[in-house]
Structure 1
Amino acid sequence: MKTIAIIEDDLHIGAILEKTLKKEGYRVLRAYSGTEAVYLLEKENPDLVLLDLMLPGLSGEELLPKIQGIPVIVVSAKAGVDDKVQLLLKGAADYVTKPFEMKELLARIQVQLRKQEKPGRTNRLEAGSLSMNTDTHQVWVGKQEIKLTRTEYAILKFLMQNPEQVIAKSVILEEISRDTPDCTDSSLKQHISNLRRKLGQAGDKEYIESVWGIGFRLTCEKTEN
């Protein structure tokens, strides 16, 4: 049975979601504020999170970066394109605007859960001292776990699937567009810069090499631990 966490302060909407999801066969967790959600996610590991933005205490925007390795569907009354783009860039898997059709939301939930159930694949990637669990989206440099944004994770995953190969920027953008459609040629450079910094701080070496005029390459020499 899949578990879905509803982080929503509107009692009526939350109750409707909980009743519908339970009827569909899901186990449901509830949190009514951002702060309560932090405590809930420390104890539980749901398969998916439905996240409202306008929460008491910690807002949904503040909470989103703290949710790692779990797909998050934002369910919010904020309908602006800029709001959606920013949240997708910050790691949301999907965005549904209130008021919403329950059938559409259920379909979007099924899509996200289906992505976690691809048969016949390994859930572990390794490249030198880097390792990644593709089920939980956890990443380690040696024994040290590092936290990545959704876009940084997608970039690193693709590079780890093609270690020591020079990958053109256009190829990286095309590949990660499946998960992060709002990453652009101009923003890719900044995402890779941030990724390099996080990897370098944990491993004390340069993991991603720029190949002038072409793209980037993941180097895989192990660090000394």
Structure 2
Amino acid sequence: MTNHILIVEDDQRLCQFLASELQLEGYEVTTAEDGMSALEKVRESSPDLIILDWMLPKISGLDVCLRLRKTGITSPIILLTAKDEIPDRVLGLNSGADDYLTKPFSIEELLARINARLRHLHFPEKSDILQFADLTLNSLTREVFRGKDSIELTAKEFDLLQYFLKHPRQVLTRNQIIEYVWDFDFIGESNIIEVYIRALRLKLETNQSPRLIHTVRGVGYVLKNLV
């Protein structure tokens, strides 16, 4: 089955180049030049993956991400941008993007990230429901509950929690987390994992719920119940 990829890019030369390369790789490709057109084409064609420029006419790539996720569109989104600071990466990922690629980039790296995202798409997890203690995660509906309380998570927070739930009581290193959740290594020393762990803990520990994600100093993190 041929995968369908939507490219949303207002730079016509770059858009044509990407479309040609992806078609050579065997993908079906649709293009859009602005945010409004992107939303329309997603509704019309339901692409398997979306390559989305951050800076777009009419509606920004971030707003496109937010609108798609709010309407239940779960297609993987790779965000393209010249913004390369950590706060920009966090903002992009929290808006619903699954991956983040800074310009200029190599076509080989983009293809590798596309392949990684489509692998997750075509080889779903054996179990759709993951549970630990009073924590429940539904991989299909992307719902999370702590007891009877629903917990709203960003796309990356959900992916991070899902990874912990797949490996309960196992100490996960920073490198393992980055490889699974982000599919690539950040350059240099980044506190991106700490930022997401802190945000996840705040949401999971409301109503004085006991901590489940614990720090293993000098190694990584572990999901375990100390009670």
TM-score range, shorter chain: 0.5 to 0.7
1:14-42 CA deviation, whole Å, 9 max, x = no partner? 34433443443322233322233344445
Q: In the alignment, which of 140, 145, 153 is matched to residue 144 of structure 2? A: 140
SS of the equivalent of 1:4 reads strand
Structure 2 runs not aligned, ≥5 long: none
Contact 2:77–2:99 (8 Å) recurs in 1: yes
Task: Evaluate the alpha carbon distance shift between residue 200 and residue 114 of structure 1 in structure 2; reply closer, same or farther with a 3 A threshold.
Answer: same
Match of 1:24 in 2: 25
Contact 1:196–1:208 (8 Å) recurs in 2: yes
Contact 2:213–2:224 (8 Å) recurs in 1: no
Q: Counterpart amino acid of 2:143?
A: V
Give, in angstroms, the shift of residue 177 of structure 1. Answer: 1.5
Give, in angstroms, the shift of residue 59 of structure 1. Answer: 1.7
Q: Show the 5 A alignment for 1:34-45.
A: 34-42=35-43, 44-45=45-46
Partner Cα separation in structure 2 for residue 108 and residue 186 of structure 1: 22
Task: Evaluate the alpha carbon distance shift between residue 48 and residue 175 of structure 1 in structure 2; reply closer, same or farther with a 3 A threshold.
Answer: same
Partner Cα separation in structure 2 for residue 29 and residue 207 of structure 1: 48
Contact 1:34–1:57 (8 Å) recurs in 2: yes
Give, in angstroms, the shift of residue 10 of structure 1. Answer: 2.7
Q: In the alignment, which of 51, 55, 80 is matched to residue 75 of structure 1? A: 80
Q: Counterpart amino acid of 1:54?
A: M
**TM-score, length-scaled by structure 2:** 0.65
Task: Evaluate the alpha carbon distance shift between residue 160 and residue 3 of structure 1 in structure 2; reply closer, same or farther with a 3 A threshold.
Answer: same
Match of 2:126 in 1: 122
Contact 1:154–1:176 (8 Å) recurs in 2: no
SS of the equivalent of 2:26 reads coil
Q: Counterpart amino acid of 1:192?
A: I
Q: Counterpart amino acid of 1:50?
A: I
Task: Evaluate the alpha carbon distance shift between residue 189 and residue 103 of structure 1 in structure 2; reply closer, same or farther with a 3 A threshold.
Answer: closer
Partner Cα separation in structure 2 for residue 105 and residue 187 of structure 1: 21
Partner Cα separation in structure 2 for residue 143 and residue 125 of structure 1: 16
SS of the equivalent of 1:25 reads coil
Q: CA RMSD in A?
A: 4.1
Partner Cα separation in structure 1 for residue 46 and residue 149 of structure 2: 22
Give, in angstroms, the shift of residue 176 of structure 1. Answer: 0.9
Q: Show the 5 A alignment for 1:199-214.
A: 199=204, 206=209, 208-209=211-212
Partner Cα separation in structure 2 for residue 18 and residue 185 of structure 1: 33
Give, in angstroms, the shift of residue 4 of structure 1. Answer: 0.7
Partner Cα separation in structure 2 for residue 101 and residue 217 of structure 1: 36
Partner Cα separation in structure 2 for residue 36 and residue 200 of structure 1: 40
Match of 2:48 in 1: 47
1:136-162 CA deviation, whole Å, 9 max, x = no partner? 682333696844232x22331132123
Comparing 189-198 and 83-92, the one that deviates more: 83-92
**TM-score, length-scaled by structure 1:** 0.65
Q: In the alignment, which of 107, 114, 119 is matched to residue 109 of structure 1? A: 114
Q: Percent identity?
A: 22
2:155 counterpart of 1:149: yes
Q: How many pairs align? A: 207
Task: Evaluate the alpha carbon distance shift between residue 83 and residue 42 of structure 1 in structure 2; reply closer, same or farther with a 3 A threshold.
Answer: farther
Structure 1 runs not aligned, ≥5 long: 220-225
Give, in angstroms, the shift of residue 212 of structure 1. Answer: 7.8
Contact 1:125–1:160 (8 Å) recurs in 2: no
Partner Cα separation in structure 2 for residue 186 and residue 108 of structure 1: 22
